[in-house]
Chains A and B, each alone.
Chain A
Amino acid sequence: MADQKALFEFLLRMGDNSLILGHRVSEWCGLSPVLEEDIALANTALDLIGQTQFWLGLAGEVEGKARSADDLAFLRDAWDFRNVLLVELPNGDFGQTLMRQFLYDAWSSIMLGRLMTSSDARVAEIAAKASKEVAYHVERSGDTVVGLGDGTEESHKRMQAALDYLWPYVGEMFDGDEVDAAMVAAGIAPDPAGLREEYDAFVGKVLNQATLTVPTDVFHHKGGRTGYMHTEHLGHLLTSMQWLQRAYPGATW
């Protein structure tokens, strides 16, 4: 039997990533550069919120304290969130949003692929469902990164700026700690560091097609997946996301 506390932490990491990114993407509603992008962004956000319901639902079950996915999403404060910093960063311009999406989707598609063979059938089942959606997300965000990177001089400049800004947040997705060690030992999830090679090869290929230069600095920010130190942005996101649940405790919606 796997360490249930570690499993709970792992599930929060998965669910909080999709929750916070889904929220960020949903902020674009009605404001994108073309109608097809409005549809695609709403669709991406919808998939991510759907994945959140599964991951946080299972997290609540594993924790055994009768907390629902909604309780976990709407009634925790920033320090209890376990998403990587990358997903809580502000949307910026459309290029930054799509670059963030691509850098996350690429990781997510590899991660979900591995989780499909998890020793925990519930995890494998969620991963199998989510991986179908994410396969589409990564294709779309990758195509857009290529189109804009290799578009006009201005779009190239903006995409390179987005990559330079976001790259220091990529490394955190491959950090590991005792939670990951417990997941590896139980055969539930892979060692995050083990995904890096495939990620670099895939992302490198797409960014190369996009005529963008991958920064060489290996420094990366961290503190999201452990909850030790989020960015200032997360608190503001939670302020709006949790408003109704906080202002009217116990109400049914």
Chain B
Amino acid sequence: MYAQLVKTAGTGVKTREEMSDEERNFQDRVDRDEKIEPKDWMPDDYRATLIRQIGQHAHSEIVGQLPEGNWITRAPTLERKAILLAKVQDEAGHGLYLYCAAETLGVSRDELTEELLSGRMKYSSIFNYPTLNWADIGAVGWLVDGAAIMNQVPLQRTSYGPYSRAMIRICKEESFHQRQGYDIMMKMAEGSEAQRRMAQDALNRFWYPSLMMFGPSDKDSVHSAQSLAWKIKIDTNDELRQRFVDQTVPQAKYLGLTIPDENLKWNEERGAHDFSEPDWAEFFNVIKGKGPCNVERMEARVNAWEDGAWVRDGLLAHGRKKSAARTAAE
């Protein structure tokens, strides 16, 4: 998933006694796995948290076009170029579904865009890392989309209907992207010495930022507990990170690549891999705007929006002229 450190609104999980009748009724519906739909009653904090989470996810899809777009013009074959174009197009489409899902909660796409461009809303930290060689496009599909799927698959069961339905659609496309990413990695790993070097270099740079995608440990967070109770969040960050590592280790081995972690080993007792935590100081720096590409990514989005203002104004003005002409004709 592309939402990290989403601050859950409210003061934490209320006991049944503390809840109003409406809140109790709402929680019962969530507990029965009923979907909450746009016109249903919902707590203000549930609505606010969902807007933050879906908005951050939507922004991530949009900003996420940039590191991949960085290689569209340099894709090495026509087929790779076509696959990458189709993938980026899918991502823009995911952004669109998600903004639509957020709209059902009463916030417009323009309002959310404004929040992103002013820096009040975030996008996933992962997109502040550069794509430096062609294998990075493989690594983004394999690791970044892989981590996203790990989070989004459970979210297909999230309590908010429009979000859940968007996730079902998005997951189908994301798993396709992940396979395509892995396919690039296989070609690179089976290729020339230079290609294997690119593949290892990509894994070295993307491994820890991918682990950061799940966000810091949330085991003591009261906010996470509330999101879990509302089924906006299904698993904890640590559970998802563990699942991701366990899934990825054999895949890296198959490619003949080395995960850059000396502490990585199978723990028989836990039935899971032990691994090193990413550098959380780095993570918080990236979140605060000090990642390798934060400035460029925001600049690209701000310029796209500002340079496009005349286009949006022009098309709106034309639309108004057309409807005025229709009204006059009636």
Interface residues of A (CB under 8 A from B): 19, 23, 26-27, 29-39, 42-43, 45-46, 49-50, 52-53, 56, 69-70, 73-74, 93-95, 144, 146-148, 150-152, 154-156, 158, 240-241, 243-245, 248, 250-253
| B63-76 interface code vs A (CB 8 A; 1 in, 0 out) | 10110110011111
What's the minimum C-beta distance from A75 to chain B, rounded to whole angstroms?
11
Complex alpha-carbon distance, A252 and B187, angstroms = 7
| Residue from A70, A151, A241 in contact with B74 in the complex, judged by beta carbons closer than 8 Å | A241
B78, A53: Cβ atoms closer than 8 Å = yes
B308, A32: Cβ atoms closer than 8 Å = yes
> With A35-B92, A46-B89 known to touch, is A53 a contact of B73 (CB < 8 Å)?
no
What's the minimum C-beta distance from B16 to chain A, rounded to whole angstroms?
42
Supply 7 further A-B pairs (C-beta < 8 A) apart from A39-B93, A42-B92, A70-B77. A37-B308, A37-B311, A38-B89, A150-B321, A241-B73, A251-B76, A251-B192
| B254 is an interface residue with CB less than 8 A from chain A | no
| Residue from B78, B307, B318 in contact with A52 in the complex, judged by beta carbons closer than 8 Å | B78
> With A45-B85, A150-B318 known to touch, is A155 a contact of B134 (CB < 8 Å)?
no
B62, A154: Cβ atoms closer than 8 Å = no
A selection of 21 A-B contacts at a CB cut-off of 8 Å is A19-B78, A29-B66, A29-B68, A30-B65, A30-B69, A33-B309, A34-B308, A36-B96, A37-B308, A38-B65, A42-B88, A46-B86, A50-B82, A52-B78, A53-B82, A152-B313, A240-B73, A244-B75, A252-B190, A253-B184, A253-B187
A146, B89: Cβ atoms closer than 8 Å = no
Chain B residue contacts of A42, Cβ below 8 A:
85-86, 88-89, 92
A248, B88: Cβ atoms closer than 8 Å = no
> With A146-B318, A253-B187 known to touch, is A35 a contact of B99 (CB < 8 Å)?
yes
Chain A residue contacts of B317, Cβ below 8 A:
151-152, 155
> With A74-B76, A241-B73 known to touch, is A248 a contact of B192 (CB < 8 Å)?
yes
| B314 is an interface residue with CB less than 8 A from chain A | yes
| B324 is an interface residue with CB less than 8 A from chain A | no
What's the minimum C-beta distance from B170 to chain A, rounded to whole angstroms?
15
B300, A151: Cβ atoms closer than 8 Å = no
Chain A residue contacts of B309, Cβ below 8 A:
33
B69, A29: Cβ atoms closer than 8 Å = yes
What's the minimum C-beta distance from A126 to chain B, rounded to whole angstroms?
15
Interface size on B, residues (CB 8 A): 53
| Residue from A19, A45, A50, A154 in contact with B314 in the complex, judged by beta carbons closer than 8 Å | A154
What's the minimum C-beta distance from B324 to chain A, rounded to whole angstroms?
12
Complex alpha-carbon distance, A56 and B82, angstroms = 15
Chain A residue contacts of B74, Cβ below 8 A:
240-241, 243-244
What's the minimum C-beta distance from A136 to chain B, rounded to whole angstroms?
14
B85, A244: Cβ atoms closer than 8 Å = no
| B247 is an interface residue with CB less than 8 A from chain A | no
Chain A residue contacts of B190, Cβ below 8 A:
252
| B296-315 interface code vs A (CB 8 A; 1 in, 0 out) | 00001001110111111111
Nearest to A249 among chain B residues (CB) is B192
> With A69-B78, A147-B318 known to touch, is A34 a contact of B69 (CB < 8 Å)?
no
- Listed from nearest, the 3 A-B pairs whose CB atoms lie closest are A33-B308, A155-B314, A151-B314
A35, B96: Cβ atoms closer than 8 Å = yes
Chain A residue contacts of B236, Cβ below 8 A:
none
What's the minimum C-beta distance from B219 to chain A, rounded to whole angstroms?
36
Chain A residue contacts of B318, Cβ below 8 A:
146-148, 150-151
Complex alpha-carbon distance, A28 and B124, angstroms = 22
Chain B residue contacts of A245, Cβ below 8 A:
76-77
B96, A26: Cβ atoms closer than 8 Å = no
> With A26-B73, A46-B89 known to touch, is A248 a contact of B195 (CB < 8 Å)?
yes
Chain A residue contacts of B88, Cβ below 8 A:
29-30, 42
| B55 is an interface residue with CB less than 8 A from chain A | no
Chain A residue contacts of B195, Cβ below 8 A:
248, 251
A74, B93: Cβ atoms closer than 8 Å = no
B72, A39: Cβ atoms closer than 8 Å = no
A74, B313: Cβ atoms closer than 8 Å = no
